[in-house]
Amino acid sequence: DWALDRAHVLHPWTNFGPFEAEGSLVIERGEGCWLWDAEGRRYFDAVGGMWCTNLGLGRADLADAIADQVRTLAFSNSFVDMANPPSARLAAKLAALAPGDLNRVHFTTCGSTAVDTAWRMARYYHAARGEPGRTHVIARENSYHGSTYIGQSIGKRDGDRVPEFLYRTEGIHHVTCPHLRTAPDGMAEAAFTDWLVAEFEAKIEEVGAERIAAFFAEPIQASGGVIVPPKDYLRRMAEVCRRNGILFVADEVVTAFGRIGHWFASEAEFGVVPDIITCAKGLTSGYLPLGAVIFSDRIWQAMAEGGARWFTSGFTYSGHPVACRAALEVIGIMEREEILAHVEEVGAVFEEACFGLAEMPTVGEVRGRRLMICIDNVADKATGRTFPDEVNIGKRVSDACEADGLLVRPIGHMNVMSPPLVMTSDDALRVADTLGRALRRVADEL
């Protein structure tokens, strides 16, 4: 299988380029938090698929619900004028769980198509209300918003936006990433928050509020290295949006459905009710592809009253009955098994154990919240100097973990973890311990 994969399957990040890798894992089976490769070796998946296998793999109740739905109604298109029970019920459930007045749902196929749709929806909203000039958006440096043309253009992590003909810059602006450690002049949290808000206001002034449709933000930047913003940052940015008629889009593709202990992080963790939420991943716990754009009644009304043109959007698989049934079952399990409370508990253990790794010789910073943690490796702890690319430090640490039966994700010089929410406190301690030993071995080798 490995030879077939090499011969035919494109892995753009690792086939070519700076992170070219000589891996050889063919994953054949998964159960709970564990994966088995083709040679029968077992790995604890602290990557959680990629922020998504929240309930773990191989659950019989999910498999049964999915199989039942396949037998009952395997497919029906719902983006024109038909409904199906799983998609209608899931939309109602999301409306009940979502913060504030977000009670309308448009289903997409994944996180990227949710972001793409949110971008179009934001622009449409303003046009429908007689402000067609609001076409620009503002996002942040170091963000990741998916792999469609627009998602990749709104996102701005180092290395994602090459070559430049693959994304657009026109009408898309970026403000500073709210990473306290990188604050200018070593500012403290409150001063840095003021600075970020002032920078945002200046950017709005420069572009012209009357030209801006939306501000996009992940409540916690995920693939950029788990950047938890200052406490008041999102609330204050949202206030600036509101004053300027700009829609606030919270990209909760990673943070929704329990990753940090809430259904949605924007309100529960940061006190903000967005105008639009994008989500995916944990929505089905990775069992089937599904994304959703959840938006306010106000936006719905603007669409309804918008006049001549309707909002043309929809995918063949919008509201796919099997994917929606999987999501309903996932949410049901999360409620029955009190997964959010479990995340509070195991997340506290995991945070503490991982934050303890800050003592390691190559660890510059440990960041994160609950089951979303990043280890940022540095060559020199005093100055924060990073390793040269050829050291490939993130990959070295991940390889050292892999040799010990643990999967953690390398992102450049960082290692990121998002284990299944169902892991136990013992698992959490074991993951941190194995990672600690790997960090020590790599430091000794360097």
Residues contributing to the site for ligand PMP (CB under 6 A) = 110-112, 115, 144-147, 218, 222-223, 251, 253-254, 280
Which C-beta is closer to ligand PMP: that of 51 or that of 387? 51
Strand, helix or coil for residue 337: coil
- Using CB atoms, what's the residue nearest to ligand PMP? 111
Round to whole Å and give the CA distance between 236 and 197: 7
Q: Provide the 8-state DSSP code for 442.
A: H
Which residues, at least 6 apart from 130, have a Cβ–Cβ distance to it below 8 Å?
A: none
Burial 245-261 (b: 16+ CB within 10 A, else e): ebbbbbbbbbbbbbbbb
Of 128 and 265, which CB lies nearer to ligand PMP in the complex structure?
265
**Beta carbon nearer to ligand PMP, 151 or 436:** 151
Angle made by CA atoms 236, 238, 242, in degrees to the nearest 5: 115
Q: How far is the CB of 252 from ligand PMP (least distance, A)?
A: 8
In the complex, least distance from residue 254 CB atom to ligand PMP, rounded to whole angstroms: 5
CB of 282: closest distance to ligand PMP in angstroms? Answer: 11
Instruction: Supply the minimum distance, in Å, between the C-beta of residue 42 and ligand PMP.
Output: 26
According to DSSP, the β-strands at 363-369 and 276-279 are: unpaired
Question: In 77-164, where does DSSP find H-type helix?
Answer: 85-97, 111-128, 149-154
Nearer to ligand PMP, 251 or 376 (CB): 251
Q: How far is the CB of 109 from ligand PMP (least distance, A)?
A: 8
Helical (H) or strand (E) element with 155: none
Nearer to ligand PMP among residue 280 and residue 292 (C-beta): 280
Report the residue number, 280 or 442, with the smaller CB distance to ligand PMP.
Answer: 280
Query: Reduced to 3 states, what is the DSSP secondary structure of residue 382?
Result: coil
Cα–Cα distances in angstroms (integers) from residue 322 to residues 58, 105, 325, 330, in the given order: 17, 17, 5, 12
Q: What's the min distance (Å) between Cβ of 16 and ligand PMP?
A: 20
